[in-house]
Amino acid sequence: MQSLDYLSVRSIEETLAPLSNGKRHVKILSGGTDLLVQLREGITQADLIIDVKNVPELVEVTFNSAEGLRIGAAAPCSQICHNAAVLEHYPGLVDAFSLIGGVQIQNRASIGGNLCNASPAADAIPALIVHQAVCVISSPMGERRVPVEQFCTAPGKTVLRPDELLVSVHIPPPRHNFGAHYQRFIPRNEMDIAVVGAGASVTLDEEGNTFQSARLALAAVAPTPLFIPEVGEFLAGKGVSSETIEQAALIARAAARPISDLRGTAEQRKKLSAVLAKRTLEKAVERARV
């Protein structure tokens, strides 16, 4: 790893200053599970890394039924998964955050890191998309909000300007008859990057027989985690049946535009897009009904 300086900060202001003065090549360090590996391999350069784990707003996970869930950008996966409110109201998020690496990685890797690393295969992002999550971004100019589905712009690229910091992610309060799920396909049973990942959320009518709305997003089938609104548009108002779900899965498959790489071929990913879309929708419906 190239030589660099390290700064541990305690407030957002303290973090923004060096980001905005533009003098240094800065990287934000929370869990470091991607950053340190990339610095070592020379994929990423930095001459200053700012450790934000001691900034209270960045590590808090708070919930109230009016505003919903707020997750600090530096909060590690394990903290999110073990949060009582998340466990009770957002099992679909637990699905995703509990998949990111083994226990050792879970205890470090953060939601902000997963977003800012902007991997097409990121597990957390499709799950956040189907939960209509919004990124809260700070800069000396103030604060702006970006829906998660718009946060990543290309592999490794996001909407963040050099002077901006991802502070937190907000998820709307839980609704009635709402269910969400995320699952991925990997060759082993752990320690792999998704060949394809699929997140879905559905809201059903009181009887649980009709889709009022639905959202579906896929990982690893496009340059960025892929939100597929067509699936929701198709399902809205339709009756819940294996046929409609099959058809929705085919819409997802059609929207997927994967490449072949060392983790899977385009053809395999196309197939898996449909399979996982179907399975994750079924699970989401199951959850919406309880």
Cα–Cα distance measured from residue 280 to residue 180, given in angstroms and rounded to the nearest whole number? 8
193 binds another protein (CB under 8 A): yes
Cα–Cα distance measured from residue 61 to residue 196, given in angstroms and rounded to the nearest whole number? 28
* List 185, 211, 227, 234, residue binding another protein (CB under 8 A): 185
Q: Look at the block and give the residue holding tokens 């790489």.
A: 261
Toward another protein, which CB reaches closer, 80 or 171? 80
Token pair of 71 as six digits: 């997750």
Identify any residues that bridge with 135 across adjacent strands, giving them in sequence order. Answer: 146, 169
Stretch that binds another protein, among 11-19, 95-103, 111-119, 230-238 (CB under 8 A): 95-103
* List 65, 102, 145, 176, residue binding another protein (CB under 8 A): 102
Report how far apart the first and last C-alpha atoms of the chain are (Å, whole number): 51
Instruction: Find out whether 74 and 29 touch, Cβ atoms under 8 Å.
Output: no
**Angle (nearest 5°) at CA 189 between 188 and 192:** 60
* List 15, 16, 33, 253, residue binding another protein (CB under 8 A): 33
43 binds another protein (CB under 8 A): no
* List 23, 65, 84, 187, residue binding another protein (CB under 8 A): 187
Residue 260, judged by CB atoms within 10 A of its CB (0-12, 13-18, 19+), counts as exposed
* List 12, 17, 105, 236, residue binding another protein (CB under 8 A): 105
* List 13, 21, 22, 37, residue binding another protein (CB under 8 A): 37
- For the CB of residue 197, give the shortest distance to another protein in the complex, in Å: 13
282 binds another protein (CB under 8 A): no
Toward another protein, which CB reaches closer, 53 or 215? 53
Nearest to 66 by CA among 168, 204, 174: 174
Toward another protein, which CB reaches closer, 6 or 145? 6
Does residue 201 sit in helix, strand or coil? strand
Residues 238-277 contacting another protein, CB under 8 A? 262-265, 267-268, 271-272, 275
102-106: list long-range contacts, CB under 8 Å, 24+ apart. 102/190, 102/191, 103/78, 105/31, 105/33, 105/77, 106/76, 106/77, 106/78, 106/81
x-marked contacts with another protein along 50-89 as a string, rule CB under 8 A: -x-x------------------------x-----------
Give whole-number Cα distances, 148 to 43, 96, 127, in Å: 25, 15, 10
101 binds another protein (CB under 8 A): yes
Give whole-number Cα distances, 149 to 159, 205, 218, 231, 280, in Å: 11, 26, 11, 15, 18
- For the CB of residue 175, give the shortest distance to another protein in the complex, in Å: 31
* List 11, 62, 107, 210, residue binding another protein (CB under 8 A): 107
The contact set with another protein (CB under 8 A) reads: 1-6, 8, 29, 31-33, 36-37, 39-40, 49, 51, 53, 78, 101-105, 107-108, 185, 187-193, 195, 262-265, 267-268, 271-272, 275
